Structure 1
């Protein structure tokens, strides 16, 4: 019997990358830009005198490569540098109510916003407004708020160091530490968990370490879509003979087979490289149990080893760590049957990983949001640190921990002060530099900010980029709450849904993109960004701005501050005239940026200090800490066999909430997003056929039931008991308070659900 044909669902058998990536890049260029300009622009990406890619945070080889952009990077660049425009006439012809019916893809695909806009509630449209009038009105409204802590200052990871630094100075002089940030929704578990383990909330590896590693263990990430330039690095280490062990509930094409577009022979022969030497599919929420199984096996191997052949690095453990005995006792107490049941992986598979790890003298573990976006995300991260510590894989070449960050400067924003939990020494240096006393209380992260908006405790929201209402889970609660705000200000390049959730007073302020020239009083300016390996480098846009009315993000922040704080002691306009002055101020507040302006002028920039690479541990004990994971379950456990675990995932043509097209070619989905990926055996048990319409209902015990309807079931290579739906469509299933309590990260990656067949498609 022939398999039923489902519109938009067909197998994609080619490798990741390769000619498919080049064709997709060509389509993106054709749809968004003029070909000659696009070619010049793309060749300036990630160059010393060019601009930093506005896509992922994967670093560049010395930031001097001749060809350092990938398919999704090209999409990010052309999406920003598009020829399409959204002028005032567009808003005059489309009410906010009508625009809310458009898809997220349709909204952003309209192009660049050209003018500052203010919402007219009587006409239900945005109207053009003069910059000075907009800033004056916003300043007046901010001064009228009931108290400084009623205002939320949200930051996107695409903001530069200079913009983010000024933003946090503005908010703190205003009087609040409310800094909801995009990292709160992805790697906050890293920022909270690693300082407790190794004394710093960042990765410890460099690209050079990938040249020297003997094993890579990749957990819970899909680099072919979310950080594609990493694929070039993986391609290199495979050809060096280094094994790559993957733990991921879904089979992802890029981790199976990849053709490097920069490999002339591979492209000419239509060849491909097998990436994963071992590919294990734990059930969703089973990574912690799998890690405990691997570490338990290592302990058992070590107990059987003789002198001179010990598996664990006892010298490192004794000299550099605390808590090993209690940690080891917890591992020994964990039973293998329970580990197998919770992880969904056979005991021998976990023992094989332990054996491969024991043979490696230099191991890197990389991980993504499949690890962090769980109820125990912080603890999950700490278990990866534990695994590395067992064999001394910190502070030596080719070894360390590698959290895969999203936006190209999400890590840099934190380095220059975007945090709701400020440290006393940072606040003291701010006071010394600028002459005002900043607040010291704990502010709001992203979830806490939205909860405060829902409760009416927060009445104003300023967004430095991003699409906060869509990025957060639980739109049913978030969307109506946004409309109760007194003030909503969005600093943006393109239109998105958050801009349409209008408050009493709503403003849309258009800013320069990463690709565009930034000319201030002293001439062209460069901004700086930090990649996921702590390298800080300059970015210089070259394109003519999309509109004469655009302002840079630093200039907009300074303008807001000047209009809001008439008695400010901060020399806002001087700093905007010359960004070197901003960087001098950053250096005075953050000593690790020593000689900032001098070092940023070196091609490739400089690396911020990473004490664990020197085996220095900035923890209270002065040592790295073995931290136990309680039990085996990452998320609330359920005995009902009909309950499955759902993860929200991104399509290949997507970056966070930005959707470039409705295709997801590596998973065989084209022109649609209304799908739920399921294991074939699970579908058979439930009587669900390929393409059947289904309903997804949450299975929380506390009455937090939510439903995702109007979707179809698609058979996919995913672990049994696990299902996946696209983000943000599937975020409606995630309650706002379903979070990792330690970090506040929403648990997008493990939602208990029941699947019901509705009808055949």
Structure 2
């Protein structure tokens, strides 16, 4: 492991640092040559879709359609390391709980199905048929199907997700918590209400035409590095790129493309953001209101002077409703209130508004810095309002772009992984499959935790992911999982969720995205949908890590066959050839007509987005201006025991809950993860110094004490009163009751906390052992 140090990073994102990281990851996983060959097949027509982020592929004929983030994901999956029965024979579950999340991930690929043995506190091998029989026995013994929880990770393919939702609904429940509930649920809710479609409206082609790109609450340098290529090209042709983020993220400041010889030879890079506004945590809604207020004032002045209007009157009249009432609301907002809530000055808000007014075509992008707040849905409404004022929806070079994380999180939702399914979708399932699907809404992620906590749910089945570490209020979530009679996790690697188990527990190892999936009809490909609604094939190229692995579709089909004795679905026949599954998808979803032919084209096809064509699937039939109250301003920390606002963030050596290493290169953190970023003046106000150790305590009035212990203070460019620290180490600070209005996404980006000096010798809330290199 690297020694613990803090060292300011001044070079561009990407560049030689990214190449060095790529080489390091391949060597660390003992796959330098195999890994290089594997990477050449990432995001290619005859290769696999990167298991990392959901950013689209620019060119399916390119040899280098991968990034540093993707290399880490691919290397971790293609690793030569193995976690077989001998590993579990050496370690009890209690012992493994003391290890770090990095240690668990770093042990390698799971090789055989394992069942928990309470007498020895160890996992032991179990035959696949016996594992399916165990799950079926528990499911069929439940008093109600609603006592089972079926979680879904965003890496699950379309084919697996479709079979999964079909099995679960035939079983009799809509309990489908998924990772969307914890990240972009507000995007779907807000966009659906405003424009009738819960997805982004732009494609990569639009990035080549936009005059301005506004980025809110996002760190593409770490979370979606391939996006930086699009931003770099836009910046080079003169497009304005305006960023709003509490933290100064290096990828949004300057980027060196590793494929650009000049930038690599000279050590130079391309400036990304033309303007960068360090908005206060949670202040984006007020900031967008301020931009709109400036645009409205410009419009009023132009009309008064007889100049052309700034607003698009024709678009507003033909395509929208509610504009007049919305405009009155914004005009009534005072600049003082907007400054206080946003943390930006009136001059900064006007400058951002002017950049919008000056641009003919505008794209607005956002990440979880927008969606993980109580007022996240209202913020998304306001971003749409901004675009509607000047007709920046449904035309080339303009639109909304929620940038999603997991590689098929959007596809899973398209396939029906949703706890509140539309009646028309359920009607189609009934027509095609001949059973009556359940109609009552199921549990989302928050609801699932509450149900397990309260004894209302007794079986938890996780299709991928790391539920225990991805969720809020860790102590509550962990205890809830341990109350279950059975917990089951379909996984490629070991993680903490396997160790926080029910009375009985199974680990079911599956094929990874990079591996060859051979069924009766031969090698199979699966399909995925990226964050811009492109659906394309993914086919693995590596031999499976173990002969005992099953594909996710095979696991679902065999479990369904074992559980549903009277099902009319030919489950085992379907998985002989995944084209049969795609035929059923085509019968259920009209947008997939001609699925086989369309997906065979390199790059696949784009699902229709009515809003992109200015067809508004709202109750009114028009795009809707939606009003929002200005949230109460969070004031900078003051007093003897001030309250700060904490945002949980990823490090650069991490993807979601998967920790690849202990460094955060662009923020200058090395060899450690228990750090908290704080403004230097907030340090001075407490009489503390950079490097002091503190505990974080949630400032909640629900009677629960939530404490994350022993964090190093790091002076950083972040607004006064705001803090940032890594998850999952700080997930335990997020109350289960703190979530987005209307969308119930945990408010992990706005957690009120207090800081107290660390208690000497105190045990930490989560393991923090040294990384094993």
Shared fold (TM-score greater than 0.5)? yes
1:225 — aligned with what? 222
Aligned partners of 1:33 and 1:81 also within 8 Å: no
Give the Cα separation in 1 of the matches to 2:31 and 2:353: 52
Distance in 2, Cα, partners of 1:50 & 1:304: 56
Contact 1:692/1:759 (CA < 8 Å) preserved in 2?
no
Residue matched to 1:346:
345
CA distance in 2, matches of 1:267, 1:53: 25
Offset of residue 393 of structure 1: 0.4
> Alpha-carbon deviations, 1:355-411, whole Å to 9, x = none?
111111100010000100000111111111111111110111110001010001000
CA distance in 2, matches of 1:757, 1:102: 25
Q: How does 1:70-89 map to 2 (within 5 A)?
A: 70-89=67-86
Q: TM-score, normalised by structure 1?
A: 0.98
Displacement of 1:93 after TM fit?
A: 0.8
Note the C-alpha offset of 1:600. 0.7
2:479 and 2:192 map into 1 onto residues whose CA distance is 37
Write the deviation string for residues 450-480 of structure 1: whole angstroms up to 9, x where unpaired. Answer: 1100000000010000001110011111112
Shift of 1:760: 11
Assess, with a 3 A threshold, how the Cα gap between structure 1 residues 634 and 720 changes in structure 2: closer, same or farther: closer
Q: Which residue of 2 aligns with 1:421?
A: 420
Contact 2:82 2:109 in 1 (8 A): yes
Structure 2 residue 186 is the aligned partner of structure 1 residue 189: yes
Query: In structure 2, do the counterparts of structure 1 residues 635 and 60 end up closer, same or farther at CA, with 3 Å as the change threshold?
Result: farther
The CA deviation string for residues 89-139 of structure 1, in whole angstroms up to 9 with x for no partner, is 100110001000110110011000000110000110000011111111211
> For residues 425 and 263 of structure 2, what CA distance do their matches in structure 1 show?
51
> 1-side partners of 2:602 and 2:633: how far apart?
43
Q: Could you say which residue in structure 1 is the equivalent of 2:603?
A: 604
Structure 1 contact 653–659 (Cα < 8 Å) conserved: yes
| Structure 1 stretches lacking a partner, 5+ long | 1-5
Partner of 1:730: 730
Q: Show structure 1 runs of 4+ deviating over 6 A.
A: 634-641
- Report if the CA contact (8 A) 1:33-1:78 is conserved: no
Cα distance between partner residues in 1 of 2:205 and 2:240: 17
Specify which of 137, 143, 148 is matched with residue 146 of structure 1: 143
- Once the 2 structures are TM-superposed, how far is the Cα of residue 702 of structure 1 from its aligned partner? 4.0
Give the drift of 1:632: 3.2
Q: Which runs of 5+ in 2 are unaligned?
A: 762-773
2:99 paired residue number: 102
Aligned equivalent of 2:767:
none
Deviation (angstroms), 1:731 = 1.1
Name the count of aligned residue pairs. Answer: 756
- TM-score w.r.t. structure 2 length? 0.96
Does the CA contact (< 8 Å) of 2:340 and 2:633 recur in 1?
Answer: no
Please list, as runs of the form range in 1=range in 2, the aligned pairs for 1:362-381 lying within 5 A after superposition. 362-381=361-380
Match of 1:682 in 2: 682
Cα distance in 2 for partners of 1:246, 1:404 equals 14
Look up the match of 2:201: 204
Q: 1:127 aligns with which of 124, 127, 133?
A: 124
Counterpart of 1:523 in structure 2 is: 522
Which of 59-68 and 483-492 deviates more? 59-68
Q: Which moved more, 1:644-653 or 1:478-487?
A: 478-487
Match in the other structure for 1:658: 658
In 1: Cα distance, 2:415 partner to 2:633 partner:
32
Q: Deviations over 1:318-364 (max 9, x none)?
A: 11011111111111111110110111101011111111111111000
The alignment status of 1:11 with 2:8, answered yes or no, reads: yes
The alpha carbon displacement at 1:732 in A equals 1.3
Report what 1:64 is aligned to: 61
**Structural mapping, 1:441-456, within 5 Å:** 441-456=440-455
- The secondary structure found in structure 2 opposite 1:58 is coil
Residues 385 and 638 (structure 1), Cα distance of their counterparts in 2 relative to 1, 3 Å cut = farther
- Distance in 2, matches of 1:686 and 1:465, equals 43
Match of residue 745 from structure 1 = 745
Q: Which segment drifts farther, 306-315 or 235-244?
A: 306-315
Q: 1:699 aligns to what?
A: 699
How far, CA to CA, are the matches of 1:743 and 1:313 in structure 2?
Answer: 31
| Aligned mates of 1:695, 1:524 — CA distance in 2 | 52
Q: Distance in 1 between matches of 2:286 and 2:346?
A: 11
How far is the alpha carbon of 1:506 from its aligned partner? Answer: 0.5
CA contact (8 A) 2:676 2:724 kept: yes
Cα distance per residue 1:27-65 (max 9 Å; x no partner): 000011422211110000000000000000000114332
Aligned position for 2:579:
580
8 Å Cα contact 2:31/2:78 also seen in 1: no
**Residues 543, 143 of structure 1: CA spacing in aligned structure 2 closer, same or farther, 3 A cutoff?**
same
Partners in 2 of 1:627 and 1:242 — Cα distance? 29
| Conserved? CA contact 1:204–1:613, under 8 Å | yes
Shift of 1:700: 2.5
**8 Å CA contact retained: 2:154, 2:407:** yes
Q: Could you tell me whether the CA contact under 8 Å between 2:83 and 2:109 is conserved in 1? A: yes
- Which moved further from structure 2: 460-469 or 135-144? 135-144
Q: Which residue of 2 aligns with 1:360?
A: 359
Show the 5 A alignment for 1:201-600.
201-306=198-303, 307-600=306-599
Measured in 1, the distance between the counterparts of 2:475 and 2:647 equals 19
RMSD after superposition: 1.6
Q: Any conservation in 2 of the 1:374–1:635 contact (CA below 8 Å)? A: no
3-state SS of 2:251 partner: helix
